[in-house]
Amino acid sequence: MRIYFIAIIAVLTADASSEASDNRELCKYIVETDYSLQQSCEELRQLESTCGRYCFKVVKPILEHTRALQKQVDLNETRQKSESINKLENIERLLHEKFDRLEKQTKQNLEDANNARKCDDMGLFDKIGDKYYYIDTVTRLNWFEAAHRCHELGGHLANLQTRAEFDAVEMHLISTSYWLDINDLGEEGEFYSLATGRKATFFKWYPGEPNNVGDNEDCVQIRKVDEVYALNDVDCNIKFNYICEKQR
Ligand code: MAN
Ligand code: CA
């Protein structure tokens, strides 16, 4: 807010000058009508010439008071402004803090949800030796369906790469037959791991296997014969149980 004391001066000046002009008019009239009144007219003229100083004396305290008020107003405005800025800065800081907390919490929730999902998915898988396996004993699928099922569970058909891995898994088998990831679908007699896309590294074949009976045995099962589990190549379209494997 601004107090326009300049306007007040203008008004006062305007009043003073119109008063002076009124006096002049009055004097002219007096002189013309009654000479004896010339003395009073002279007094009026003197008053007019001293009015500037007089008016200044009258107006000065008002001006000073106005200036003091203006200062007060300016001070209040400055104080109010800085209080408002402080309040806004506080609100901004609080919002930042709240936003940071929310961002952290959201990240944590997302991580927790992901971990929970991972745990859920791992629910079917058991740690056997150094790896995680899901040994299915309830659903019989052909080799392609079994590969797809393991993929759906976030894994792949088991890729038993060493004697130790084979022996560890064998301890947990119940059914007679399970699909593994080995196959020679690409080239007869060249056995590859579906999981790695490379040649399989470990084989425990039954004697006489792989024999590619009917020229139609391109997938590998782990089969129990006389209480011993070993490998046999067999028709991919036959339905067996299966073993899935998954990295943690
Ligand atoms: C069946 C099939 C063959 C296997 C022989 C072994 O014919 O399972 O894959 O080689 O048995 O006797
Ligand atoms: Ca065979």
Residues 6+ apart with CB under 8 A from 120: none
Q: How far apart are CA 76 and CA 132, in angstroms?
A: 74
Please, what is the end-to-end C-alpha distance for the chain in angstroms? Answer: 71
* pLDDT per residue as tens digits for the range 154-182: 999 999 999 999 999 999 999 999 999 99
Percentage of residues in the chain with pLDDT exceeding 90? 62
Q: How far apart are CA 117 and CA 123, in angstroms?
A: 10
Range of the domain at 76: 5-119
**Domain final position from 103, 119, 135:** 119
**Do both 111 and 145 map to the same domain?**
no
Nearest to 212 by CA among 195, 178, 187: 187
**Do both 113 and 164 map to the same domain?**
no
Angle at 163 between CA 157 and CA 169, to 5 degrees: 50
**Do both 73 and 161 map to the same domain?**
no
**Domain final position from 66, 93, 119:** 119
**Do both 171 and 100 map to the same domain?**
no
CA of 205 to the centre of ligand 1 (A): 12
Is the CB–ligand 1 distance for residue 218 below 6 Å?
Answer: no
**Do both 96 and 131 map to the same domain?**
no
Is the CB–ligand 1 distance for residue 48 below 6 Å?
Answer: no
Nearest to 171 by CA among 228, 116, 101, 91: 228
Region 135-139 average pLDDT: 97
* pLDDT per residue as tens digits for the range 228-237: 999 999 999 9
Pocket test for ligand 1, best of 183, 213, 215, 219 (most atoms within 8 A of CB): 213
**Do both 109 and 130 map to the same domain?**
no
* pLDDT per residue as tens digits for the range 56-105: 677 778 888 888 998 998 899 989 999 999 999 999 999 999 999 999 99
**Do both 154 and 177 map to the same domain?**
yes
Residues 6+ apart with CB under 8 A from 3: 66, 69, 70, 73
Region 173-196 average pLDDT: 98
Model pLDDT, residue 13? 45
pLDDT range class, residue 116, cuts 50, 70, 90: confident
pLDDT range class, residue 4, cuts 50, 70, 90: very low
Region 176-192 average pLDDT: 98
pLDDT range class, residue 5, cuts 50, 70, 90: very low
State the closest ligand 1 atom to the C-alpha of 208, by its place in the atom list counted from 1.
10
Confidence (pTM):
0.57
Given a cut of 70, is residue 119 above it in pLDDT? no
**Domain final position from 101, 119, 137:** 119
Q: What CATH number is associated with residue 182?
A: 3.10.100.10
**Do both 163 and 202 map to the same domain?**
yes
**Do both 114 and 130 map to the same domain?**
no
**Do both 189 and 80 map to the same domain?**
no
Region 116-123 average pLDDT: 71
**Do both 66 and 87 map to the same domain?**
yes
Q: Are 221 and 177 in contact (CB under 8 A)?
A: yes
CA of 206 to the centre of ligand 1 (A): 10
**Do both 171 and 59 map to the same domain?**
no
Of 15 and 116, more confident: 116
Of 27 and 64, more confident: 64
Lowest mean pLDDT among 5-19, 25-39, 65-79, 196-210: 5-19
The number of distinct structural domains making up the chain is 2
Model pLDDT, residue 17? 53
